[in-house]
Structure 1
Amino acid sequence: MSEIRPQCPLCAGEMKKNGKRNARTRWRCKNATCGVSEQTYRPDITAKHHFTYFHNHVTGIYPITECARLMKVSTRTVYRYFEPLWLIEIPNNPDRHRIHDQIFIDGTYTAAGCLLIASTSDHVLCWHWCKHETTHAYTQLLSKLAAPLCVVLDGGQGAQAAIKKLWPNTLIQRCLIHAQRVVRRYVTSRPRTEAGREIYNLALELTSRETVQQARKWAVDLHKYGIKHHDFLNEKTPLPPEIDRTGKRYEFTHRRVRSAYNSLTNLHKKGHLFIYLTPPKQAIDKKSWASNTNRLEGGINSQLKFIARCHRGRGGERQRKMLEWWLYNKTPLPDDPHKIARQQNWGKDQLAKVHVLTHTENHTNHETGRPALYDNAIPTEYNHSVGIRKGTIR
């Protein structure tokens, strides 16, 4: 096999091996009139070596000190190696033309902000960073995907509004475990009244419905509950005159039990409880439809929280990059991370853009007659306005 030999940087002639220095091969030009000697460097191999440790660090539980021990360098050197690698952009471009049977959406809060995730039963589809779970945030998340047959969610109003806006024909399955939690939040796990105990038992029976007949029986029991405790739920208590609640003279006596009952009746009227039992004809795998978001919360969100705890103290943009690398590895067809980093020159292209922007952005000042984009400091030369120099005038 022919050996790849470097060319002479002076005469472009062929070079030959000329021993080693510091464990690196030295090359010498064969041309007697030239005789240039040099060592060749492969910065791409070095960058790939650093990125391997970086990727294992951000997607695993290894701390910086462990990376320093394996790389046989100091911790400060590892920080310097990893500095440009944090600027690599992670792809977040799902297939906009693939239609899924059922997807799961949910948000989890981290030190870097609120992370909205859309996934299937075994893969991550896309994600979006925001401050809160609002309609606009969920719209940005769902606009990256084609309309699925069904969406399973935990009951956020922002998610439902975004689905109705983008996918009006998509079915909505409310997570039954979250529906149970809403009832438990109103009546507690040990209700004191008979009506509270009965509505809590109805909520507990939600997750055990496996056939359409059982779901219909549950709906009949809920209807009978409303008839049986109609007077109890509608009892009102007059408010004292000193209590001003926007002109209301009465309030419901058992408002917490009433709220628990209304939470279940509203979901049943909207048809958000038992969609998983009657999937549409277009569904490919009708037996695998889920009634809760456990596959997203237990399989993805919990792992993200675990990685964040292992690297506690890291927040902001770097924590976002760390979690995005883990999410990207869970996508259906992820590319080789080394290939992504190599295409972006191991983050050095983004680092060069940062230096260019910070050094060339501010070209104007007050002497040119135009306002500066930002000032570097208060001028030290004499100014007749002492208040500006003292900081009393802003």
Structure 2
Amino acid sequence: MKWGIQLNKQRFKCKDCGQLFTSNNKSVSDSNKEIWFRNWVIGKDTFDKLSVESGYSKSTLQRYFSKMLSKAPILEFNSTDEIYLVIDGTYFPNDICLVVYRNFHLKSTQLYRMTNGEHFEEIAEDLQNLLSLGIKIKSITSDGDKSSIKAIKKVCPRVPFQRCLVHISRMCRIWLTQNPKHKSGFELKQIAVKIHHIDSEYKRQLWLIELIQWEERYRDFINQKSYNIETGRYWYTHKMVRRSFTVIKKAIPNMFLYLKDDKIPNSTNSLESFFGHLKGNLNIHRGLSLANRKNFLKWYLYYKNQT
């Protein structure tokens, strides 16, 4: 029978033995605490703020959050049979590399791998696992990482592979520096800046003509070599200009597939933005152990898919 209130909780008395007790539904309590754990993971809330808003003490929340971080959730996602896939990896301290396979249009993570780098064997295995789930990959957008390119060509040779235009343009601008010393570098930089602004076949043709004309003007310049007497070796004198042009030229077959299918993303910017928010949240909770940091990343992906 009900027997008054104690600490704002209903107290009961057993009619048989006279024992007094208060009800404590642990499942409901844990469910309530998980709401605050979710806010801590993806909402950038601190323990002090959560303690005030939830009514739980800071130590109670810390114990529960530690319990949650000791395990990893199983990733859940809603997907269609056909997806436009974006692949990218990002690095964290302690040699943690998070490789994410993301459905561009649904903005959900299809698969992820926690590893120490972007390796061909692992990426090939992940792509094969996606195909084994019955997912039809309509296109793949990725940067110029050699391991990714090799894996995509092996596992998905017939799937349109779109190179990230922003990545190509950014790397060329870095190699050519802010103020190129030679006219060739300045002109090539202007060509590289235009890459991710091409939104029609007409603009693509104009851009290709400009690149071809640049190569004709500076072919001898970029092929010029220097000789080191001490080592007895030759190297390209203007290696950064040559490297930038070579990267652009080799990427051309995979640069403009989005003009034929406007559903194909032409960059990995959406995923890089996602990584930026993830790192921002993780930095707020500095001091986590290595194991807890890894599980924090997994919980973040899990909760983000639910949103």
Range into which the TM-score falls when normalised by the shorter chain: 0.7 to 0.9
Aligned counterparts of 2:39 and 2:186: Cα–Cα separation in 1: 51
Q: Cα–Cα, structure 1 residues 71 and 181, in superposed 2: closer, same or farther, change >3 Å?
A: closer
Which residue number corresponds to residue 131 of structure 1? 116
**Does 1:309 find its partner at 2:294?**
no
Structure 2 matches for 1:52-201, cutoff 5 A? 52-72=35-55, 74-94=57-77, 98-100=81-83, 102-111=84-93, 113-119=96-102, 120-125=104-109, 126-145=111-130, 146-201=135-190
Structure 2 matches for 1:344-355, cutoff 5 A? none
Write out the 4+ residue segments of structure 1 that deviate beyond 6 Å after TM superposition. none
Identity, % of aligned pairs? 23
Q: Which runs of 5+ in 1 are unaligned?
A: 1-15, 280-285, 336-394
Which residue number corresponds to residue 250 of structure 2? 266
1:46 offset after TM fit, Å? 2.0
**Does 1:28 find its partner at 2:14?**
yes
Q: Cα–Cα, structure 1 residues 41 and 257, in superposed 2: closer, same or farther, change >3 Å?
A: closer
Verify the 8 A CA contact 1:153 1:293 in the aligned structure 2: yes
The normalised TM-score by structure 1 is 0.69
Given residue 91 of structure 1, which amino acid in structure 2 is its aligned partner?
I
Give aligned pairs, total: 298
Given residue 134 of structure 1, which amino acid in structure 2 is its aligned partner?
H
Given residue 306 of structure 1, which amino acid in structure 2 is its aligned partner?
G
Aligned counterparts of 2:144 and 2:284: Cα–Cα separation in 1: 30
Q: Which has a greater percent of helix?
A: 2
Using the TM superposition, name which of 70-79 and 124-133 deviates more: 70-79
Aligned counterparts of 1:48 and 1:92: Cα–Cα separation in 2: 19
**Does 1:217 find its partner at 2:199?**
no
Match of 2:271 among 280, 296, 299: 296
Verify the 8 A CA contact 1:99 1:148 in the aligned structure 2: yes
The normalised TM-score by structure 2 is 0.86
1:206 offset after TM fit, Å? 1.0
Q: Cα–Cα, structure 1 residues 111 and 27, in superposed 2: closer, same or farther, change >3 Å?
A: farther
| CA RMSD after TM alignment | 2.5
Verify the 8 A CA contact 1:115 1:128 in the aligned structure 2: yes
Q: Cα–Cα, structure 1 residues 308 and 253, in superposed 2: closer, same or farther, change >3 Å?
A: same
Q: Provide Cα deviations, 1:32-88, integer angstroms capped at 9, x if missing partner.
A: xx4454434322222222222222222221222333334555433332233322234
Aligned counterparts of 2:171 and 2:64: Cα–Cα separation in 1: 49
1:315 offset after TM fit, Å? 4.4
Secondary structure of residue in 1 paired with 2:86? strand
Which residue number corresponds to residue 2 of structure 2? 17
Q: Cα–Cα, structure 1 residues 158 and 302, in superposed 2: closer, same or farther, change >3 Å?
A: same
Q: Cα–Cα, structure 1 residues 20 and 193, in superposed 2: closer, same or farther, change >3 Å?
A: closer
Secondary structure of residue in 2 paired with 1:133? coil
Secondary structure of residue in 2 paired with 1:62? coil
Q: Which has a greater percent of strand?
A: 2
Structure 2 matches for 1:246-265, cutoff 5 A? 248=233, 250-265=234-249
Q: Provide Cα deviations, 1:90-119, integer angstroms capped at 9, x if missing partner.
A: 12255687221x221111122461111122
Compare CA radii of gyration and give the structure with the larger one.
Answer: 1
Aligned counterparts of 1:315 and 1:136: Cα–Cα separation in 2: 28
Structure scoring higher RCO (CA < 8 A, sep ≥ 6) equals: 2
Secondary structure of residue in 1 paired with 2:255? coil
Aligned counterparts of 1:93 and 1:45: Cα–Cα separation in 2: 23
